[in-house]
Structure 1
Amino acid sequence: MEKKLQVFMESGLLDSYILGTTTPDENLEVESYIAEFPEVEAEYERLQDNLEILAKAHTVEAPKYILNAVIKEITDDVPVIPLPSPPTHSRAPWFSIAASIAALIFGGLSYLLYEQNISLALENQVVVDEIFDLRSDIENNNNKLENVMLQFMKLNNPETEKYVLRGNSRAKNLKTVAYINAVDKTSMIDVVSLPKLPENQTYQIWAELQDRMVNLGILDESERNKLRTIPYMEDALGLSITIEPKSGSKINNTHNENSVAEVTLKN
């Protein structure tokens, strides 16, 4: 039974099931394993959490111009052009009157057709522009999806270690999660929550080496739930988050006083 479970866990079916790329038969097989084995259920929940992190990290709002274009298309009315009444002459021959009426009708129809052709040409151009925009959006979304899948694979790599940094008394609600893979030499961080700071201060993340501290960048509230890459530091002993002035920071004896979150890395 344990060998059967091990074969299933190494098959990659669970990852494919999370990403929605399995067949109906494979879906039944995965679901039966989830129902039967607590280990599979726990791994399934972990993969779901990771996928949720990635979904939040790549959330994109719909462009505002689409809604405005739809509203304009619904509310715009086609102008009605009244036809002028033909002049009446009591003594004009009937065929002159008929010819005048026909000329007016023909002129009015020609003008309407001309206006409609211009309107259709403009609409066609708008459609062509929107098609190009949609193609560009599809290409961008495909690139983002590819990045999401790559990040998903990195998160679920057995070599990737997860480290949670929680704030101390100076930043009680601070929480960030670091993902470090020493084999691929990659580091990513997910900013879960950051307490608000005064305008002249920032949060900064540091790597602790044997003989010095290395600045890995600034953490901002606007990056909340956005998984991003940070520099990978070889032989780092730990990570720490400090509160520093925006004017600049220097590693000195006060570094420990500025620290609000720390975590020790596995060797």
Structure 2
Amino acid sequence: MEKELHNFLESDLLNKYLVGDTTIKETQEVEYFISKYPEASDAFDKLQKNLEIIAKAGAVDVPKHILKDILNTLEEDNSPKVIQLVQHKKTPWYSIAASVAAILFAVTSFFLYQKNQNLLEENNIVIDEIFDLRGDIENNNLKLGELSEQLMKLNNPDAKKYVINGNERAKNLKTVAYINPVDKTSMIDVITLPQLPEEQHYQIWAELQDRMVNLGIINEADRKLKPIPYMEDALALSIKIGKKGEETNENNTEVAEISLKNE
């Protein structure tokens, strides 16, 4: 039985089993010896440790002398400690070299596969960021286009500018109205609006010859140019305080007014 164990250890079956190159029958034979003989189990453990050393070496850029040192170490230490017989046969060096090469190839292939997967994930992230950036650029271009169009209207020589300041009831109120009678457009720019109770808001009105027309609600959120209806032959613009959900036309609620006559 010792001779059978010795012959098994001197064979290349443990190396082939470690790299998955055994047949079904050879696999059964190896697993039998590993489970039955501590010498075979120790030899297999040593080969596994050598594989870990090689795997760690393959994970980084390895100097050329490292592989040579590993092969020398394997040749020195690979012989399992068994009962010495009359004849002692060394495992051929080329068999060990072939096993090491196969292991290095497997480790390198796995490392490159993992790196490729990471690169693919990073590439997908970059693509998503590019699409998001394109969306942001399109939105910004749209806003810039709207702003440019508004500035063109403001700089139009036909546009007239009206600064509307608050009265004693709203001293800090200040808005600017831009009215272009040629292309019949009106806009208002809110500068400052005194805060009102939650149930109230500001309304802008146009005074005509025979009536007052509500042009809409203005608030602090309108701190940008806001289009308002253009009223032909308007005599004045006024800002009043009204209750939410109601339309007011009472003079005692007026907080600002500017005449458009002879302007």
Residue of structure 1 in register with 2:233 after alignment = 235
> Does the aligned pair in 2 maintain the 1:204–1:218 contact within 8 Å?
yes
Residue of structure 1 in register with 2:52 after alignment = 84
Residue of structure 1 in register with 2:252 after alignment = 257
Q: Which has the larger radius of gyration?
A: 2
Amino acid corresponding to residue 259 of structure 1 in structure 2:
E
> Does the aligned pair in 2 maintain the 1:207–1:216 contact within 8 Å?
yes
Amino acid corresponding to residue 221 of structure 1 in structure 2:
E
Residue of structure 1 in register with 2:114 after alignment = 115
What is the Cα deviation at residue 156 of structure 1? 1.6
Say if 1:243 and 1:97 are closer, same or farther in 2 by CA, change over 3 A: farther
> Does the aligned pair in 1 maintain the 2:205–2:214 contact within 8 Å?
yes
Say if 1:114 and 1:260 are closer, same or farther in 2 by CA, change over 3 A: same
CA distance in 1, matches of 2:157, 2:177: 15
CA distance in 2, matches of 1:215, 1:244: 11
Residue of structure 1 in register with 2:85 after alignment = none
**Cα offsets for 1:235-264 (capped at 9, x unmatched):** 222111112222x22334xx2111111111
TM-score by length of structure 1 reads: 0.60
Residue of structure 2 in register with 1:105 after alignment = 104
> Does the aligned pair in 2 maintain the 1:213–1:251 contact within 8 Å?
no
Residue of structure 1 in register with 2:24 after alignment = none
Residue of structure 2 in register with 1:170 after alignment = 169
> Does the aligned pair in 2 maintain the 1:203–1:243 contact within 8 Å?
yes
Say if 1:156 and 1:113 are closer, same or farther in 2 by CA, change over 3 A: same
Say if 1:180 and 1:109 are closer, same or farther in 2 by CA, change over 3 A: same
Q: Structure 2 unaligned runs (5+)?
A: 1-50, 55-73, 81-90
> Does the aligned pair in 2 maintain the 1:206–1:241 contact within 8 Å?
yes
Higher relative contact order (CA 8 A, sep 6+): 1
What is the Cα deviation at residue 101 of structure 1? 3.2
> Does the aligned pair in 2 maintain the 1:190–1:227 contact within 8 Å?
yes
Say if 1:153 and 1:98 are closer, same or farther in 2 by CA, change over 3 A: same
TM-score by length of structure 2 reads: 0.61
Q: Percent identity?
A: 64
CA distance in 1, matches of 2:178, 2:117: 58
Residue of structure 1 in register with 2:261 after alignment = 266
